[in-house]
Amino acid sequence: MAITSANQLELLQTAEAVAREKMIDPALVVEAMEESLARAAKSRYGAEMDIRVSIDRKTGRARFTRVRTVVADEDLENYQAELTVEQAKAYLDDPKVGDTYEEEVPPVELGRIAAQSAKQVILQKVREAERDRQYEEFKDRAGTIINATVKREEYGNIVVELPGAGEAVLRRNEKIGREAYRPGDRIRCYVKDVRREVRGPQIFLSRTAPEFMAELFKMEVPEIYEGIIEIKSVARDPGSRAKIAVISYDSSIDPVGACVGMRGSRVQAVVGELQGEKIDIIPWNEDMPTFLVNALQPAEVSKVVFDEEAERIEVVVPEEQLSLAIGRRGQNVRLASQLTGLDIDIMTEEQESKRRQAEFETRTKLFMDTLDLDEFFAQLLVSEGFTNLEEVAYVEQDELLVIDGVDSDTAAELQARARDYIDAQNKAALERARELGAEDSLIGFPGLSPQMVEALAKDGVKTLEDFATCADWELAGGWTTQNGERVKDDGVLEPFEVSLEEAQDLVMTARVALGWVDPDELAAEEAAAAAASDEEEEA
């Protein structure tokens, strides 16, 4: 094939046709043609030559040029594409290193192999441009709902065709359990993620994501779309049951009633899309115990004890309400836990009474054994809310004086006994830690009690360097997933109620003390993380 006047205009027409078909910029197709022609010309004139091709956007004329770059004498390596300053004087006035000299060369005739190679280059460039267009089109649609057409099924995954000539994947684990689709079926999905990958943009869809339900309600309930009602959280057991927490910013509008709709029309539209998934609509409340009582509906709750630091909550229910509160296979309490973001312990009134009695007896015995008290006096301490020796030893003396029969001398004696016992325990723990090989660098580290140091030494952590290499979950404990099941990992410092955040702070402080981490850089990272968190909350 020769680039002659007869087919010059045909180049532009072909470029425009391909661009229209693929919905990309015609200029990208022309650039691909230029590159493919240049590659073919190099195979004819020599691979070492720098041959470039430019196609006139109006006439379609292809101009072939050989480009040579001016380099220093010692840098001359490729005499076909480079020339020295002295050599360049024959072609340029006052040449300098970096200047280029271009000369037009005759157009090449493309043989069958060269033409095929040029075609492949064009197709590759067109595919890349098409992928870029698809990515740019869909990257901002993550977090929205789209309508698509089922194209085929691959190993349980559904490949769908998107409006705008693209494909997306609904993975098997993102389908609602009993759903089945055939090619040509219409399907509504949530765009969970859009990634730019070598083989093109990968668009992942979901029908099980909690956000899918939230977006469906936004489509069905105008008050949510307008911002009068806000969805605060969603928890789902896809295809079975879900809970959604809503709040109204207009006192005249009931958020639950608005989401249910006239005769249940709005919620039924969402239920129909989710294949009959039962939905509990819960009024959100800033008071976490009140919110939890709502979240555990339809079960009735007798009592709620909220531990804000541990983010745990204990719920007491009547015996006849226990199975309803837990739900089938633990579904109700699991969804309530997801909705509130808290770990929930459910017990009956009888179980709570027995547990409290056992705690009372254990604490009473502790004070009797360690402070040499009689049972009655120890029970008085427990009744006033004292739970351990540290509280007795270091509390303000006035808090002991409110106990019947306790004067200032008795209070001072109680505190002295408690402190002596604690000091003896600490001394014994340090001796055992040293026997295990714990070094002074670890023993003197702020934030670690003697008992903690002993526990670390038993686990092989004997120096500050050892401690600084620990992961936070190794200290505070955590959960991992093995063979699809959650498995508890016990932390070395977990018996001392060290939280994950406290473990992170301790380890990072040790790394700073050892000079492994720059404190200024750490402060900058923390500030950046805090700013990013604030931006997410505002968004």
**What is the band of 2 on the pLDDT scale with cuts at 50, 70, 90?**
very low
Mean pLDDT confidence for 519-531: 73
Per-residue pLDDT at 452 exceeds 90 = yes
Q: Give the dihedral of Cα atoms 216, 222, 228, 229; nearest 10 deg.
A: -30
Highest mean predicted confidence (pLDDT) among 55-64, 102-111, 112-121, 216-225: 216-225
CA–CA dist 290, 298 (Å, integer)? 14
Whether 526 contacts 533, CB under 8 Å: no
Q: Give the dihedral of Cα atoms 412, 415, 416, 421; nearest 10 deg.
A: 160
Mean pLDDT confidence for 411-431: 91
Closest-CA residue to 236 (of 314, 337, 312) = 337
Whether 401 contacts 408, CB under 8 Å: yes
Mean pLDDT confidence for 411-416: 89
Kind of pairing, strands 62-71 and 50-55? antiparallel
pLDDT in tens, 229-282: 999 999 998 888 889 999 999 888 999 999 998 888 999 998 988 888 899 999
Q: Give the Å distances, CA to CA, from 377 to 40, 365, 419.
A: 99, 11, 18
Helix (H) or strand (E) holding 84: strand 82-84
Question: What is the model's pLDDT at position 12?
Answer: 65
Whether 278 contacts 244, CB under 8 Å: no
Q: How crowded is residue 396: how many other Cβ atoms within 10 Å of its Cβ?
A: 8
**What is the band of 65 on the pLDDT scale with cuts at 50, 70, 90?**
confident
Closest-CA residue to 10 (of 55, 64, 43, 40) = 55
Whether 493 contacts 470, CB under 8 Å: no
Question: What is the model's pLDDT at position 87?
Answer: 79
pLDDT in tens, 282-334: 999 888 888 888 888 888 888 887 766 656 788 888 888 888 888 888 888 88
- Alpha-helix runs per DSSP H in 210-316: 210-220, 222-225, 255-260, 265-273, 288-295
pLDDT in tens, 487-517: 777 889 988 888 888 888 999 999 988 888 8
Question: What is the model's pLDDT at position 432?
Answer: 94
CA–CA dist 337, 316 (Å, integer)? 15
Question: What is the model's pLDDT at position 6?
Answer: 40
Helices 288-295, 331-340: crossing angle, 10 deg rounding: 150
Tell me the pLDDT of the chain averaged across its residues: 81
Phi, psi of 192 (to 5 degrees): -85, -40
Closest-CA residue to 277 (of 234, 325, 314) = 234
Report the share of the chain in percent with pLDDT over 90: 16
Per-residue pLDDT at 1 exceeds 50 = no
Whether 242 contacts 250, CB under 8 Å: no
CA–CA dist 127, 254 (Å, integer)? 52
CA–CA dist 458, 455 (Å, integer)? 5
Looking at this protein, which amino acid is placed at residue 142?
Answer: A
CA–CA dist 476, 479 (Å, integer)? 11
